[in-house]
A and B are shown apart, each in its own frame.
Chain A
Amino acid sequence: MDLSTNYLGLRLPHPLMPGASPLADSLDTVKRLEDAGAAAILLRSLFEEQITREQSGLVHNIEVTANSSAEALSYFPKPDDFVFGTHEYLEQIRKIKAAVKLPVIASLNGITNEGWLSYAKTIQQAGADALELNVYFIATDPTETGDHVEQRTVEILRSVKKAVTIPVAVKLSPFFSSVAHLARQLDEAGADGLVLFNRFYQPDIDVEALEAVPSLHLSDSSELLLRIRWLAILYGQVKATMAASGGVHTGVDAVKAIMAGASAVQVVSRLLEDGPQRLLTIFQGLKHWMEEHDYESLDQMRGSMSLRKSPDPAAFERGNYMKVLRSWKVSA
């Protein structure tokens, strides 16, 4: 049985890999992921905003008190070299490359054009095999149009593609009014892959303190459904290979993602909860299911339940919810 897959032009033995997350922060975990059979390693996102904030914050905190008092011309020693997040991040790419034989995919979230470009280049130089652009952006400005947001995303991809030679994937959020249209534009702009979808960290409300508090909920399998729908819709409409990200917890979840059209399947929450070795269980679940159901290859399965090939395409379109609603029974 052939489980191999082509994702971003990388030939991988199978589609399962950790998603962008803190999992790759420690070399030990990376090695355990390799032992668990991960097809590739993904690093967490490098956030340009965080780096620039850190830089200006540090300079501000050091400078604002300097030269204010006769007795204290400064309050901090003066190191020559500061290593900000980039340095650490690039070092981590190098270390992972040296420690494991797997392809290493970096992830980047920029805020400025210069940021996207310069960080993308340095990531490539550090040895990453591919780059995932995490276009995590919350449009809060009511004067900014959806079209503008989309165009900016496409522009970023175009410039990054010009700047680097490694394959580039775009990780999207589901909150575009026309995901298919955007996907096609990205496809035309040269995206090597699309990752569906980003999971937003959404703030919660502390009702006692009247404060918005950051919260992180790990996913469950129900979140996969959104991914399945859009993988199924986009499959065959874009040249870019696609990855499912969010809600894969079991081998059968992976089967679904692949049937919908995914070339790669990313897992995070399950691994954070159960540890890296869980990837092996999911892999075995996938393999087992395929064996039981006599699939010869992944290619055979991929996209089989997509909009184009599905026996019930309406299920992925507007009709789905009608069916679901009808299936509800009001309890007596």
Chain B
Amino acid sequence: MTRARITIDGNEAAASVAHRTNEVIAIYPITPSSNMGEWADEWSAKGKKNIWGTIPTVTEMQSEGGAAGAVHGALQAGALTTTFTASQGLLLMIPNMYKIAGELTSFCMHVSARTVATHALSIFGDHSDVMACRQTGFAMLASGSVQEAHDFAAIGQRATLKSRVPVLHYFDGFRTSHEVSKIEQLTDEDLRAMITEDLVAAHRARALTPDKPVLRGTAQNPDAFFQAREACNGFYDAAPAFFQESMDEFAKLVGRQYHLFDYVGHPEAERVIVMMGSGAEVTHELVEWMVARGEKVGLIKVRVYRPFSIEHFVAAMPKTVTRVSVLDRTKEPGAIGEPLYLDVVAALREAGRSDLVIVGGRYGLSSKEYTPAHAKAVYDGLSVAQPKNHFTVGIVDDVTHLSLPVDNDFDIEPDDVVRGVFFGLGADGTVGANKNSIKIIGEETENYGNGYFVYDSKKSGAVTISHLRFGPRPIRSSYLVKRASFVACHQYGFLDKYDVLSYAGPGAVFLLNSPFPADQAWNDLPREVQAQIIEKKLRFYVIDAYEVAKATGMGTRINTIMQTCFFAISGVLPREEAIEQIKKAIKKTYGKRGEDIVQKNFAAVDQTLAHLHQVKVPATVTTTRERPPMVSDKAPDFVQKVTAMMLANQGDLLPVSAFPVDGTWPTGTARWEKRNIALEIPVWDAKLCIQCNKCALVCPHAAIRAKVYESDALEGAPETFKAVDFKGSEFKGMKYTIQVAPEDCTGCSICVMVCPAKDKANPKHKSIDMAPQRPLREAEVRNYEFFLNLPEVDRTKVKLDVKGTQFFQPLFEYSGACAACGETPYVKLLTQLYGDRLLVANATGCSSIYGGNLPTTPYAQNRDGRGPAWSNSLFEDNAEFGFGYRLAIDKNQEQGHELLRKMASQIGERLVDEIVTADQSTEAGLAAQRLRVLDLRKQLATIPSFEARWLEKIADFLVRKSVWIVGGDGWAYDIGYGGLDHVIAQNRNVNLLVLDTEVYSNTGGQASKATPIGASAKFAMAGNARPKKDLGLIAMAYGTVYVAHVAFGAKDAQTVKAFQEADAYDGPSLIIAFSHCIAHGYDLENGLDQQKLAVDTGYWPLYRFDPRRLANGENPLMLDSPAPKADVGLFMANETRFRVVQQQNPARYQELLTSARKEVALRCGIYEQLAKLAMPNGKPTGSVE
């Protein structure tokens, strides 16, 4: 039988089998497993059938806990069922996993193993999540490569049906789940042969049905439970044999033979490593290399970790072995050792091999690199007289000194493997083009191809590094390329930031996208780059890809051009053939999306070769210009020593001692990272400016700011610094400046879009225009520094409207959020209003990533050292987490008051009285209270009592704190809804800010219950047909919750007002904030216009519901937007999420559009009616502005 060779990633490989061998799939998005669910949903949406001819039902749930419940139910009711998850998601499934296993249910789930959040969240791969499931009774099946993820999905499915022991099939998150590799595809016949009908029939026969009624899920008592629990033993005893039988059957069918424990290496090995997952492939590569050099080493790859078969394990171990090193990709603090180590120790002891020296160590946490050099260090570690136990490998531990020494120059990669490293930007298409290149080589030649892609933590201007390998053999090298034969830098500016050529091996080809022609390209390079080119004897090519892209109508997409260059000069394929293949791929990708796009891409390919030139490399370095330092020398020590290393992609080199021990990081470090990603920045024309400060309000990155200050502060201003008289009475006689942060601006131009001040003679020119950054940079850097040092406004003198709030210092700045992000302006406003007394509880999602993803921290501090205190607990518990803040604060304040009263005579009755009864509703009131607390501290210092010491510790809580619980719609509407509901019912003073993008933005746009009718989202590909959940109305039903529905782009004044009312309301507040998002699919510089349209069409009505009005007998609901003025279809027509439905299925779109119109009419109608209701004690109705 011939099987197709396909090039896919591990997620697709596993999902492909899971989808074909199941009937019901319950899913929930979580990195890095989301793609498995997406594939399954997409296949089902496109009508792809399983091997029994039915289209699997794919259902998104509200959380992984929900998915596990649905899975459990579907299994009980007799469907072949699966799910996909990782990390925290897997933890949420654990309760059901116990049940599923306890009931001996055939079920194979697929997990892209990911780090469980501890001192920090990490999206990357290790086994801490799956290791937390050891005790559930699930069988644990580990695959180590893309091919194995595919194969084991089939083996696991058969084995669970045979053994009745449920299977947790896992592979390494990112390293395998996202690695693109050429594999042999299992056919439907293969799968039918593996999953025979009798197995399925047996599963069904165990289903719950009223036609043969039984009862499960009983509650058992001391008399019965223990024995009943032991009754399953036979199944666990028998399971290993079923797994081996499944592997043998698979081998018969397909040819690849696996075992419960696979041994590789010298038949008389003395030193052996035991491990599982993708790291085993790396060790495998090294073992072959070492054995070829006569070393007696070996490796046991653990395939079936649970049930652990001692018999099979010991049989796999050569008799000659004397020393064993067990590698765990997890950490269990406080344990004797990590789980696999302990299992191996126990297994060998039980098998009577107590003679062996056994050590254990940790590697690869959170996708830390594990290379042949590390494996070598582990073997070397076994060679010493007293092998180090409980070691780590891959880091430098200079605190507890557990790490093994590693020879970082050790390299075993053969030269017949082409190795390429490509630096690109997310937006330039580099990764997509590289995936395409692997496909071309993998599918059009006999060679094997493999790619892994590293993304930075930013959402705007994100850097991508692609690691590609092509060679004549299947590629086991699941680690980053270190000695590349081809290095491409697709963005010229990277040469000043990263050591791009550190990846280049001797004689490699270096391709640079340079704005300079070939004869001038050399001179502008930094000294370090020139030196490396000469020293490594690189062949240096340049192309001005942006010029070619512009000329051929490709805009800023240089992917096709750079891909053509790669094929032209890497020699991986004959040039003509390569070009033909690229064109074939273009036709395949875009053929159905428009001939015009195909032709533009063809033109780009054809134009590329004429513009690609080799640069003549001089014998010596010709420049003295060095790469600029990563951060300013004015930065704090920690930033210089730690943050800067991480920024330079050299965080791997930092030792353990560099890091905080408990995940506590300094705030305000984003200001030291000067990203310079904007091609154009705003330029202020002071003459035209009407001083409305809207530019500052809408800026997502706090990169354009307003200040008002006394004119004498202008002394020493840089020559180009702009200042004008303040217009208006509040600050009469003072000066006013709008200043851009030139190196922090992302160039989104949303400030220009909002600017209302046009030049009457030339309306194209506004008070803010965009202009190229480079020529402005130096002067504006000086201006910005001067601006930052100008005095801050006196907070007590500012009117709290849109304009006034923008004189407050933003304490959320330069985050990694997308250019023109629709969420961050709200967050920034929050910090301007309450930053110096603000605690933020942040649900996992975009806002926790741009808020807290290292290397830098955007939450900042004011001159007094005050600023937001921020933390992220989980995705699902954020409301409760923030509620906990409030409980603690209230308790501290209560104790403070108790102690104050108790000590009143010592402290002074008057001061105590003033503190306890202080009006802290205004900035002036807060300032006065801070002074009183200062006074109090002075008094306390003189009092030698326990109470005084206790009160000193909590005195700061006597100043009012503002607790904000921030998260996205995935949290508020779905996974965290239960908690949110409970918290808003508690009458505590917490404020919930829901940044509603109407999808799970952070994980790539999966549908949530906030997704509107008519929108296409992942898991709702054909267009969502269900109305958006009305969270606001639900909250209003309590009658005690302040609720606001806001859209800053439509009515900023209402947003500002809602924030203040929420903070002032002494009870729970919920603000649902419309947030435009890249997942909506349009150029976000138009985000504000789209918000206006959302409001004008009734898509997003604005309102405030204030329970305090009830007390006055007024209707609490105030509508802040008029009845819809335009058709909601106009709003929808502007966004890809809706258009994509229209373009897939115009008839369905029409139906959904009709439903959307009805829904708008209904919702707006309901609000209108509610706002008109007279309250019981008869006061007037809510106003319609």
Contacts and interface: CB of A to CB of B under 8 A. Distances in A.
Given A52-B596, A77-B1017, A67 B453 contact: yes
Contacts of A75: 1001, 1004-1005, 1078-1079, 1081
B595 interface: yes
A155 interface: no
Contact of B1140 (A63, A69, A70, A76): A76
B1139 interface: yes
B1004 A67 contact: no
Nearest to B592: A81
B431 A77 contact: no
A144 interface: no
A73 B35 contact: yes
A226 interface: no
Contacts of B459: 68-69
Interface string B414-437: 000000000001110111100100
A62 interface: yes
B342 to A, nearest CB: 32
B206 interface: no
B1006 to A, nearest CB: 9
B1004 A58 contact: no
A313 to B, nearest CB: 48
Contact of B1136 (A52, A76, A88): A76
A59 B31 contact: no
Contact of A78 (B42, B1078, B1081): B42
**Among B174, B594, B1146, which residue has the most Cβ atoms of chain A within 10 A?**
B594
A80 B593 contact: no
A79 B1001 CA distance: 19
B1005 A83 contact: no
Given A55-B594, A81-B592, A84-B1143, A71 B123 contact: yes
Interface residues of B, number: 61
B593 A63 contact: no
Contact of A66 (B38, B432, B1001, B1003): B432
Contact of B455 (A52, A69, A77, A84): A69
A79 B1002 contact: no
A107 B555 CA distance: 31
B596 to A, nearest CB: 4
A74 interface: yes
Which of A57, A75, A79, A82 counts the most B-chain CB atoms under 10 A from its CB?
Answer: A75
B427 A70 contact: no
B590 A59 contact: yes
B1004 A52 contact: no
Nearest to A55: B594
Interface in B603-648: none
A77 B1021 contact: yes
Contacts of A71: 31-32, 34, 123, 849, 1002-1004
Interface string B639-659: 000000000000000000000
A80 B592 contact: yes
Interface in B992-1018: 1001-1005, 1016-1018
A64 B595 contact: no
Contacts of B32: 70-71
Contact of A72 (B1003, B1083, B1144): B1003
A22 B1005 CA distance: 35
B1016 A76 contact: yes
B594 A79 contact: no
Interface residues of A, number: 40
Contacts of B594: 51-52, 55-56, 59, 84
A65 B827 CA distance: 23
Contact of B123 (A68, A70, A83): A70
Interface in A23-59: 51-52, 54-59
A237 interface: no
B464 interface: yes
A58 B155 CA distance: 41
Given A67-B432, A71-B1003, A61 B1136 contact: yes
A83 B1004 contact: no
B204 interface: no
Contacts of A82: 592-593, 1140, 1143-1144
A68 B426 contact: yes
Contacts of B597: 55-56, 59
B1082 interface: yes
A112 B1079 CA distance: 32
Contacts of B357: none
B1062 to A, nearest CB: 30
B368 interface: no
A106 B52 CA distance: 47
Contacts of A210: 758, 760, 763
Contacts of A72: 1001-1005
Given A66-B432, A67-B429, A76-B1016, A114 B592 contact: no
Contact of A59 (B593, B1003, B1137): B593
Nearest to A56: B597
A222 interface: no
Contact of B1005 (A54, A58, A63, A76): A76
B464 A68 contact: yes
A64 B1136 contact: no
Nearest to A49: B596
Contacts of B453: 67
B525 to A, nearest CB: 27
B1002 A62 contact: no
Most chain B beta carbons < 10 A, residue from A55, A73, A78: A73
B1144 A62 contact: no
A47 to B, nearest CB: 13
A55 B1139 CA distance: 11
A273 interface: no
A67 B1140 contact: no
A73 B464 contact: no
Interface in A77-103: 77-84, 87-88, 91
Contact of A76 (B557, B1081, B1083): B1081
Nearest to A53: B596
Contacts of B1082: 61
A58 B1136 contact: yes
A88 B1146 contact: yes
Contact of B46 (A57, A80, A88, A211): A80
Contact of A74 (B455, B464, B1004): B1004
Contacts of B31: 70-71
Contacts of A68: 425-427, 431, 455, 459, 462, 464
B1143 A58 contact: yes
A69 B459 CA distance: 7
Contacts of A77: 38, 41-42, 45, 1016-1018, 1021, 1140
Contacts of A91: 1146
Interface of B: 31-32, 34-35, 38, 41-42, 45-46, 123, 174, 178, 425-427, 429-432, 435, 453, 455, 459, 462, 464, 555, 557, 590, 592-597, 600, 758, 760, 763, 849, 1001-1005, 1016-1018, 1021, 1078-1079, 1081-1083, 1136-1137, 1139-1140, 1143-1146
Interface of A: 51-52, 54-84, 87-88, 91, 114, 118, 210-211
24 contacts: A55-B597, A56-B597, A61-B1136, A62-B1081, A63-B429, A68-B431, A68-B464, A70-B123, A70-B178, A71-B849, A73-B178, A75-B1005, A76-B1016, A76-B1136, A77-B1016, A77-B1140, A79-B1021, A79-B1143, A79-B1144, A80-B46, A82-B593, A84-B594, A87-B1146, A210-B758
In the A-B complex, the 10 residue pairs with the smallest Cβ-Cβ separation, listed nearest first, are A68-B426, A55-B594, A72-B1004, A67-B431, A77-B1021, A210-B763, A75-B1005, A61-B1081, A70-B455, A52-B596
Given A59-B593, A68-B427, 20 more contacts: A54-B1143, A55-B593, A55-B594, A55-B596, A55-B597, A58-B1139, A62-B1081, A64-B557, A65-B1079, A68-B459, A70-B32, A71-B849, A72-B1002, A72-B1003, A73-B178, A73-B1004, A79-B1144, A83-B1146, A210-B760, A210-B763
